[in-house]
Amino acid sequence: MAPTAVAGGAVETAGAVTPMDLAAIGESQKRLASADRVEPPNRGLAAGARRGGGDPGSFGQIDWSQPWFNQFVPRGVRWQRAALEGYAPFLAELNADARATGQTTGRGRPLGFIAQDDLPAGTAYEAHIAATGCVPTRYNLHDFFNALAWFSFPRIKAALNARQAEQIDALGVGPTRGGVRDALTLFDENAVIFASANLEQTTALRNFDWHTLFVACRAGWGENCEVRCFGHALLEKLMVPFKACTAHAWVVEVPAAYFSWDRPQRDAWLDTAVSEAVARDTELSGQRFAPLPVLGIPGWWAANETAGFYDDPSVFRKGRRQRQAARLA
């Protein structure tokens, strides 16, 4: 049975997760909480990818065969060609898609993309998007991936934008965002959506039980659970994958029928269910996420086909509760 436009009565639950205690997660939280808009990391492929400039060659290095990028084909390939032609053709391609889809931002304004320099001085990025529909977009990979998210999960992006604008209206823009805006930014920048119809795998993720999640339940990946990349900073990091690369997983319990649907149907269902959850969550915080080392996902990295891959405690660490239990034993 195909999904309807409404979340079909499914319950989205993330559960209470102990505070993020993977080093990569902790560092990303500090960086994401430090500014109104996250800048791309100052290394490797992102060199020169700052306001007002970028490295055109970096667009050509996207490997669409990688599972974290493959979900964005064919639109991403088309945008890549435009980006390699220059900044203006890149923005033109984004805006052509925005007009064709009729999507809107957090307060119902038609979606569009503008050059970063067109953002008025002193205007908060998210507030501008909500008020005008225009997304300030730099000529770099970071903003390339951000734009892809607007088309892959438009309702989630609009819900995040609406909540950000709501918080800015209430609290203004200061040196720190506050807990709700921090969580919204973590989602926007570094989230994956963990869709699961298997309680054992969901529980294993929340409990840092990596052996159960990745080894004992390995056959269930793609049949009982799967991951969708969402965060554009995460996608940028995956241009140069590294073992400790860790996402914030937003857990969604899906019906068993979900895995009989095709990819567009599943994505549409997730877009509706997750956007509704984001909109109604009055206690949104960083603890709504579970850390997920993405190169541990079966089929995502050849090295993880060896079980010993997961025996690295610097990446696949025990959760706080497990460490406390070990000390008491």
Residue pLDDT, tens place only, 233-272: 999 999 999 999 999 999 999 999 999 999 999 999 999 9
Average pLDDT value for residue range 93-99: 98
**For residue 44, what pLDDT is reported?**
44
Residue 126's Cβ-count burial label (10 Å; 0-12, 13-18, 19+) is buried
**For residue 186, what pLDDT is reported?**
96
Q: How far apart are CA 113 and CA 92, in angstroms?
A: 8
Indicate the average pLDDT of the chain.
Answer: 84
Residue whose C-alpha is closest to residue 96's, from 115, 75, 116, 117: 75
Average pLDDT value for residue range 40-47: 42
Q: Is the pLDDT confidence value at 36 over 70? A: no
Q: Is the pLDDT confidence value at 23 over 80? A: no
The pTM score is 0.83
Q: Is the pLDDT confidence value at 88 over 70? A: yes
* Top-confidence residue, 125 or 8: 125
**For residue 257, what pLDDT is reported?**
96
Ranking 36-50, 79-93, 198-212, 217-231 by mean pLDDT, the lowest is 36-50
Please state, for a pLDDT cut of 90, what percent of the chain lies above it.
Answer: 74
